[in-house]
Amino acid sequence: MRSIPTATSRRPAYRPSMLPIADSFEHVHRGCEIRYGRGRIAGLGDWLDDRDLGDALVVCGSNTGANDALMGPVREGLGDRLAGVFDGTAPDKHVETAYDLLDARAEVGASVLVAVGGGASLDIARQATLLAADGRDLGELRADAETGPDALGDLAAGTDPDLSVVAVPTTFAGADVSAGGSLEVFSAAESPTGQPVTVSGSGAWPVADVADPALFETTPTSVLAGSAMNGFDKGIETPYARDASPVSDAAAVHGLRLLSDALPRVAGDRPGGEAATDRAVVGALLVQLDRKISVIHAFGHGFARRYDVQQGAIHAVVAPHALASLFDRVDASRRALAAGLGVRTEGRDDDAVAEDVVEAVAEVRDALDVPSRLRDLPETDEVDLPEIAEFVAADPPMERAPADLDATAEEVLGVLRAAW
């Protein structure tokens, strides 16, 4: 397996000149109206009025709810469309929280959920709309979960939810332009299988995504750094997915161009400013538009089946090692990734390009205040690595791995050992 370079062995920095980005724009993706620009949150209430969407309940975590620099513009933007604030979301995404959210929604009579913050709040809001359409109460859902996955099924399969969701992201997790997310029905300790049991549905695309860079600037740098590699890796994984296309490559590669330069400035140790934040937000949007998660996300999911660990931390540690392993076995679209990461390819052989792609990813990671070794994560134990490797190899996103890759648990364990 290729070695991961240290800070003292970095290649000479090369960044292509960046194309300009618009101060603001709108784009509709799968029914979600993306509204990008500084100050765009100010028009949210009018946007709801224009679409007869009614009053809104803001959905967020307690820290976000207490952040006046963020919540002030959100409240002002909603104006008289603001029905209330539910600030009970948390990273563990318990299904009970989604039921509590639905109770709060019924109490204030809101017809729209405005999810503000990181991936947990956005996921809980989306999945809550499917819980409402699904019709099962908590007891029924738990009973089905105990029976097995066939009884639990998907939430509200084939049904359009009545509740609408507007996403207002403030981190770089890349969870806003999505119908994804899952809710925990049983923790590992409660589960009859000894593994967490989750439930989700795929029918809850947000009706709008308000991507306002000024709101990201109210988020602590440590939180931005913790989410950064999760979003960044969506751009890395898309070009080498077995169902990648020129269309998905275009969005992912340009997103990487923006993120690889901007993330270290916004969430890391390099000088930034508003222009860097603007580019990071646009980059995070682009890598989501036709994202095709696979190998690196499977590693994150494998650890989530054993530990309550932040996905961004796992991505930060594993991404360079997973890429190095991929490049040892398959092409993994290394030249497309090179184009996005500022790696020169002209006149260079495939091995040299691959080495510098891995180096470029490690360079972005090392500019952030995130872990670089699994042993540095307080939740992890080396004795669990073989079982985690089994989880990773069997994780559904692995089905999108490059067509010529047969990732066995033994090979995955080798990556984990290297990352330890």
**Contact indicator for 322, 374 with CB cutoff of 8 Å:** no
Q: Evaluate if pTM is beyond 0.85.
A: yes
Identify which of 399, 15, 258 has the alpha carbon closest to the alpha carbon of residue 266.
258
Cα distance between residue 216 and residue 277, in whole Å: 8
What was the pLDDT predicted at 5?
Answer: 56
Cα distance between residue 400 and residue 173, in whole Å: 20
pLDDT tier at 271 (50, 70, 90 boundaries)?
confident
Look up residue 113 and give its two tokens: 């959920």
Kindly state the percentage of the chain with pLDDT values over 90: 82
Q: Which residue has the higher pLDDT, 17 or 240?
A: 240
Q: Say whether pLDDT at 80 is over 70.
A: yes
Look up residue 184 and give its two tokens: 């925990």
pLDDT tier at 84 (50, 70, 90 boundaries)?
very high
Looking at the domain 40-211, which fold is it? Rossmann fold (3.40.50)
What was the pLDDT predicted at 1?
Answer: 59
Counting every residue, how long is the chain? 420
Identify which of 283, 278, 286 has the alpha carbon closest to the alpha carbon of residue 215.
278
Paired strand residues for 164: 112
pLDDT tier at 10 (50, 70, 90 boundaries)?
very low
Q: What is the pLDDT of residues 250-262, one digit of tens each?
A: 999 999 999 999 9
What was the pLDDT predicted at 8?
Answer: 41
CA dihedral 307, 413, 360, 278 (to 10 degrees): -30
What was the pLDDT predicted at 95?
Answer: 97
Q: Say whether pLDDT at 14 is over 60.
A: no
Q: What is the pLDDT of residues 349-405, one digit of tens each?
A: 999 999 999 999 999 999 999 999 999 998 899 999 999 999 999 999 999 999 888
Say which range, 6-10, 128-132, 321-325, has the weakest mean pLDDT: 6-10
Look up residue 202 and give its two tokens: 């795929």
Distance, first Cα to last Cα, the chain: 14
Q: What are the start and end residues of each CATH 3.40.50.1970 domain in the chain?
A: 40-211
pLDDT tier at 181 (50, 70, 90 boundaries)?
confident
CA torsion sign for 227, 228, 234, 237 is: negative
**Contact indicator for 31, 43 with CB cutoff of 8 Å:** no
- Which residue type occupies 47? W
- Give 188: exposed, middle or buried? Use CB within 10 Å, 0-12, 13-18, 19+: middle
- Across the chain, mean pLDDT equals 93
**Contact indicator for 155, 131 with CB cutoff of 8 Å:** yes
Q: What are the start and end residues of each CATH 1.20.1090.10 domain in the chain?
A: 220-419
Look up residue 319 and give its two tokens: 């991404």
Q: What is the pLDDT of residues 33-55, one digit of tens each?
A: 999 999 999 999 999 999 999 99
Count the alpha carbons within 13 Å of 50 in the hemisphere toward its beta carbon.
6
CATH number of 220-419: 1.20.1090.10
